[in-house]
Structure 1
Amino acid sequence: MTLEAFADTIIPGAKRSPDDRAIAGVCDDPGAVEAGAIELLETPATGVTEGLAPLSAALNGHATAYAAEHGLQLDADVPPFVALDYDHRAALVQNLTAPGHPEKDGWVLLALFCNMAYDTAPHLHTGEAIENGHPGLLALGFAKPDPDGLWRFAEYGYHQELAKRHPNTDPASGSLE
């Protein structure tokens, strides 16, 4: 729940239900959590999976200290970071990722993975992510593949050919022979 709240602070999304506490609901569109931030963070290839529990505990410790410093009463039914409203979550994350903060590298890394889950969906097969309506890829306007599953682009990205096609390019597949 704490990591979901962190991901939602990085790229906010809509609540999944009225009683959803991890997602603050400051946006009407899906955010990092729905894009799979937690699934990505839990993917062993990220190299951060073993550090997630300590990061979550540290974030809750920072939230407790932040609340005390600002005279905030935290709801004990949820983890401390989750108990903060969105503006306080964002302020705390801004402090943790600020230049000079001794733990900055860890928090920035966590934020980068949350962005990555939304922007590129590296934990999913791209074609399936698009077919299943991945919110980040849809929001970014990522093109769908052709019916055969390959990406071909009839129009040039800059509306002009930037380079000549290699003479050994197979016209059917678009790849080198």
Structure 2
Amino acid sequence: MPTRDSILTIEAFADTIVPGEKRTPDDRAVAGAAPDGGAVAAGALDLLQWSATGVHDGLDDFARALDGHALDYAGEHGLDLDEDVPPFVALPFEHRTALVQRVTTPGHREKPLWISLALFCYMAYDSAAHLNTAEALAAGHPGLTALGIYQPDADGLWRFPDFSYGRKLADPHPDTIPTGSLP
């Protein structure tokens, strides 16, 4: 389980990837740079702590590294950081964004690490991979809701009344059973 400071830093990173509204007026991790819920509200921390991601055991290390980059960045830009929160959390949102852009830029030696973390943060928002989709929708998951994903039918199956390409692309295989699977 990550430390309190690591959680704040990781949440601030996730909020930089998919910004959202503050959870409370005194929320420091979520900058409030966008209306509605972002990656943090979508459960980015839960997804990152899930063992299936493979990054769960390294979250404290990610946070320490990001805070180290934030200290360097603040020094380069003459920024005074509030010491009540971790350095990355203390950065104003526009500086968080600039720092994340720096560490994810082609040629940065740590780019693959930060891109993987960013992808998982986005995954929490756009697919809720760590959650049951129907339950996430019923709970008002911010990403799935924003993307227009709708609830399954009463029997738990999703049926799509309109074709995504505006037309039928192919007939179902003749052996397709009512659940949509092949026997």
TM-score with structure 2 length normalisation?
A: 0.93
Report deviation, 1:165.
1.2
Measured against aligned partners, the alpha-carbon deviations of 1:43-65 in whole angstroms (never above 9, x if no partner) come to 00100011111110010011011
Q: How does 1:26-175 map to 2 (within 5 A)?
A: 26-171=33-178, 173-175=179-181
In structure 2, stretches of 5+ residues that fail to align are 1-7
Q: CA RMSD in A?
A: 1.0
Q: After TM superposition, where is structure 1 displaced by more than 6 Å over at least 4 residues in a row?
A: none
**Alignment-mate amino acid for residue 13 of structure 1:** G
Identity %: 62
Report deviation, 1:19.
0.3
CA contact (8 A) 1:169 1:175 kept: yes
CA contact (8 A) 1:152 1:174 kept: no
Report deviation, 1:66.
0.6
* Separation in structure 2 between the aligned mates of residue 103 and residue 77 of structure 1, nearest angstrom: 27
**Alignment-mate amino acid for residue 27 of structure 1:** A
Report deviation, 1:157.
1.7
Report deviation, 1:176.
2.6
Measured against aligned partners, the alpha-carbon deviations of 1:38-88 in whole angstroms (never above 9, x if no partner) come to 000000010001111111001001101111110000000000000000000
Match of 1:23 among 22, 25, 30: 30
SS in 2 for 1:50: helix
Measured against aligned partners, the alpha-carbon deviations of 1:139-168 in whole angstroms (never above 9, x if no partner) come to 011132111111111222223210111112
TM-score with structure 1 length normalisation?
A: 0.96
SS in 1 for 2:100: helix
Partner residue in 2 for 1:13? 20
* Separation in structure 2 between the aligned mates of residue 100 and residue 159 of structure 1, nearest angstrom: 41
* Separation in structure 1 between the aligned mates of residue 111 and residue 50 of structure 2, nearest angstrom: 22
Report deviation, 1:174.
2.9
**Alignment-mate amino acid for residue 42 of structure 2:** A
In structure 1, stretches of 5+ residues that fail to align are none
Q: How many residues align?
A: 176
Measured against aligned partners, the alpha-carbon deviations of 1:13-35 in whole angstroms (never above 9, x if no partner) come to 00001100000001111000000
Report deviation, 1:112.
0.5
